[in-house]
Structure 1
Amino acid sequence: MAEKVQTRQVDAMGRVVIPKDIRDDLTLPEQPLALQYEANRQAVLVFKAVETDEEEEHKVLDEQGRLLIPAEVRRQFDWNQGDKIEIQSEQKGVLLQGEGAHCAVCESRESLVKIRGRFLCRSCMEDAGAAWSERWQDVLQEVAGDYIGYSEKAVSSADMEEIHQARVKGRRLRTLLEFLGLDEDHKLFERLDDAHKRLGRLRERDVFVEVVEERAAKAESGEEAAVFHEAAEVVRQKREKEKEKLAKNLPKVINAKFQQHWDRFCVSELPHLVRTLDLPKRLEEFEETFQEKKETYHKTAAEKGKASKAALKALHDVRIEAKRLRYTYGYAAVIYSTGYAAESKAYKKYQRRFGDINDKRDLLKKLEDSEKKMDVSQEQIENVKERLKRELESDAEAVEL
């Protein structure tokens, strides 16, 4: 039987006209018809029903040769009113297949999956998945390698910059794994979070000492400078204790076991996560989380004031979420060769705008935590704290988000 391919549109009732020449060739009019749904080809095969099959629900063409396609099938194949359906005769019957239902890469009509309006066959999907997986692996291996390297240096030297870079690389790595959809209870997250907290305790003290020494150098009075010098000395002593703890405990977290978890993830889990990643949808979810953080800040600031502890905490959460988006868009631009670099740059402004506010917030808190061990009068400390509070309040009131 010669193959005939024609197209007809789905009407408002979900019907498709079977062309007359095909109907006549196959003697379909007034015959009970069976429908076989082939998800593999995104198609419906129509053929004469076997008379003895009484349980099968049969269809019949109307007088105009129209066949009603069940609603659940139209939904599954995304066939809507006005869509063109390709109709061709096969040995067994008539094949109805959505126009363009072929792989966008190799044009195969077998094993099709529809992705954002285009079809890909499973073979090409696997090839594409392997390519994207390789790109992701290159980026992740670089970030993970840097993270492990800086973590080792942080232990051996406890240098400020090494500790800072270890935290940054760890945060970037965690963000990428979150974006891919790795389960929150994964062993990698457990170790990354543990290490981040340990590195954070040292990093926070480094930042504090650096900031108060700068303030001491710019102090308007000797009494004010003395408060900052004393605060720096108290925190330096605490830093030494944290340094010892880090040297003892970080190697228990970021170690050969971490590397085993990482290698297993790259081989066994990463390919599947990349293959099933819906990039636009995942970016949209991250954007929605950012908007939720902004809304929480606005609500908290309206209820309790912009300078309240709750509002400052909410503002910090906005900044952290912006940082996650900056990392995500930046790496998406590298992996997918898209224009996401502009979005990454746009989110960096939040870090610059609100970083000083967070530093002052932490400065005030650590100053309060250290004041009992400082060898200066309480009056001197209170004067400095009041000045910091005024600065923080002024900065907070100026926030426009």
Structure 2
Amino acid sequence: MTVEQVAKEKEKQISKTRQWEQALNKLYINFRDYSKDSLKGFGDEDIHQARVNSRKLLTLLSILDPEHSVTEPIYSAFKQSQKRLGKVRDADVLIESFKERRKQAKSAGESKTAELLKAVINHQKEKRKKYRKRLTDELPKVLTKELDEQWEAFLVNELEGLAAKRDVNVVMRELEVAFDQKKKVCKALFNGPEGESQESFEALHDLRIAAKELRYTASAASFALNQKFHAHEEIYKKIQQELGDINDKRIWLETLHSIGRDKLDVGKKVWNQFTDSLRAEVQEALHGNEVVHIAPKPNN
């Protein structure tokens, strides 16, 4: 290789590193700002954005350093933040979904169902208080000057070497292959002798996570991806949402059963009517999804 070629390669690598640095730094600044804002009033959007930016940071760090041998301290910090933010965010979403259902029940004159949903909402608000308390206690321990210093040291000392070794396009292809394999497993389980078993729904959950990973990789690493992958964020966002709809309805049902009818002080008839309607919604969403085709049962 000539001196000129060496210089061009070096310039190319510097440009690649700069792209990574800009993308990572933007996410880091957003993560810190939204995290601090979320502690002031637990605003829905602040919590959501802090969580999204920490998720994207985790995605990019996993691409650069799959074993986390170099990035472990900062990766662990983002992972811990993601967990605590996620608990609060999931509670927010669950509460809002039950509030909307309560509003619908009241409009339909279903007062007993509205009372059931109010009891569930109050129960979930108490759980959210605990999640918020843990977030308040633990997130400031992450957002420290030490983390800033570790982050800066990573960008200066480690990023160039890691970026030189990784091709995001290869990672995307590997994620696509993994998604397709999970899809085949999921389809086989749902159409197999066990049908809608716990194992089948766990496989569906894994497939949703795989779609989410593809979506976030396409979004966070768009600066380094070939044109053919640029539509992947929207493609896998749609898939994630469709599978998420099934998962959300199952979570609503599981939440009710985890609390129990006695604790909610609800009559058996109202309880059965509402839980039966949720089961029917799970079935409708499951059999209507376009991601994993589920063949109708012979006796249907």
Match of 2:296 in 1: none
| Residues in 1 aligned to 2:224 and 2:187: alpha-carbon distance in whole angstroms | 35
Selected match of 2:187 from 298, 314, 319: 298
CA contact (8 A) 1:156 1:247 kept: no
**Are residues 1:358 and 2:244 paired?**
no
Selected match of 1:343 from 225, 232, 256: 232
Give the superposition deviation at 1:200: 1.6
| Residues in 1 aligned to 2:138 and 2:220: alpha-carbon distance in whole angstroms | 31
Classify the secondary structure of the residue corresponding to 1:327. Answer: helix
Instruction: String of CA shifts for 1:232-290, please: whole Å, max 9, x gaps.
Output: 01111121122122111111123333223222221111111111123332222222222
Q: 1 or 2, which has the higher helix percentage? A: 2
Match of 1:124 in 2: 8
**Are residues 1:188 and 2:74 paired?**
yes
Amino acid at match of 2:112: E
Query: How many corresponding residue pairs?
Result: 285
Amino acid at match of 1:201: K
Q: When the two structures are superposed, what TM-score results if normalisation uses the length of structure 2?
A: 0.86
Match of 2:294 in 1: none
Amino acid at match of 1:327: Y
Give the superposition deviation at 1:317: 2.0
| Residues in 1 aligned to 2:272 and 2:164: alpha-carbon distance in whole angstroms | 58
Give the superposition deviation at 1:149: 1.2
Selected match of 2:90 from 180, 204, 224: 204
| Residues in 2 aligned to 1:202 and 1:144: alpha-carbon distance in whole angstroms | 20
Match of 1:311 in 2: 200
Which of structure 1's runs of 4+ aligned residues deviate more than 6 A? none
Match of 1:267 in 2: 156
Instruction: String of CA shifts for 1:167-226, please: whole Å, max 9, x gaps.
Output: 111111111111223433512222222111111211111111100111111124211111
| Residues in 2 aligned to 1:377 and 1:257: alpha-carbon distance in whole angstroms | 54
CA contact (8 A) 2:168 2:224 kept: no
CA contact (8 A) 2:56 2:220 kept: no
Amino acid at match of 1:194: Q
| Residues in 2 aligned to 1:333 and 1:130: alpha-carbon distance in whole angstroms | 18
Selected match of 2:112 from 223, 238, 242: 223
Of the structure 1 ranges 226-235 and 158-167, higher mean CA displacement relative to structure 2 is found in 158-167
Selected match of 1:149 from 33, 47, 50: 33
**Are residues 1:396 and 2:286 paired?**
yes
CA contact (8 A) 1:139 1:335 kept: no
Instruction: Using CA pairs under 8 Å that are at least 6 residues apart, name the structure with larger relative contact order, 1 or 2.
Output: 2
Q: 1 or 2, which has the higher strand percentage? A: 1
| Residues in 1 aligned to 2:203 and 2:128: alpha-carbon distance in whole angstroms | 28
| Residues in 1 aligned to 2:51 and 2:215: alpha-carbon distance in whole angstroms | 16
Classify the secondary structure of the residue corresponding to 2:289. Answer: coil
CA contact (8 A) 1:330 1:340 kept: no
Give the superposition deviation at 1:378: 4.1
Instruction: String of CA shifts for 1:34-86, please: whole Å, max 9, x gaps.
Output: xxxxxxx6xxxxxxxxxxxxxxxxxxxxxxxxxxxxxxxxxxxxxxxxxxxxx
Larger radius of gyration: 1
CA contact (8 A) 2:102 2:118 kept: yes
Equivalent residues in 2 for 1:94-133, closer than 5 Å: 108=2, 121-133=5-17
Q: Identity of aligned pairs, percent? A: 29
Selected match of 1:282 from 171, 178, 188: 171
Of the structure 1 ranges 304-313 and 225-234, higher mean CA displacement relative to structure 2 is found in 304-313
**Are residues 1:376 and 2:266 paired?**
yes
Q: When the two structures are superposed, what TM-score results if normalisation uses the length of structure 1?
A: 0.66
| Residues in 2 aligned to 1:340 and 1:125: alpha-carbon distance in whole angstroms | 25
Give the superposition deviation at 1:145: 1.0
Amino acid at match of 2:11: D
**Are residues 1:233 and 2:135 paired?**
no
CA contact (8 A) 2:218 2:225 kept: no
| Residues in 2 aligned to 1:361 and 1:258: alpha-carbon distance in whole angstroms | 38
CA contact (8 A) 2:63 2:168 kept: no
| Residues in 2 aligned to 1:363 and 1:382: alpha-carbon distance in whole angstroms | 14
| Residues in 2 aligned to 1:393 and 1:128: alpha-carbon distance in whole angstroms | 53
Structure 1 residues 337 and 303, CA, compared in 2 at 3 Å: closer, same or farther? closer
Classify the secondary structure of the residue corresponding to 1:303. Answer: coil
Unaligned runs of 5+ in 2: 292-300
| Residues in 2 aligned to 1:281 and 1:337: alpha-carbon distance in whole angstroms | 10
Selected match of 1:245 from 127, 130, 134: 134
Structure 1 residues 316 and 265, CA, compared in 2 at 3 Å: closer, same or farther? same
Of the structure 1 ranges 175-184 and 359-368, higher mean CA displacement relative to structure 2 is found in 175-184
User: RMSD of the TM alignment (CA)?
Assistant: 2.3
Amino acid at match of 1:321: A
Classify the secondary structure of the residue corresponding to 2:67. Answer: coil
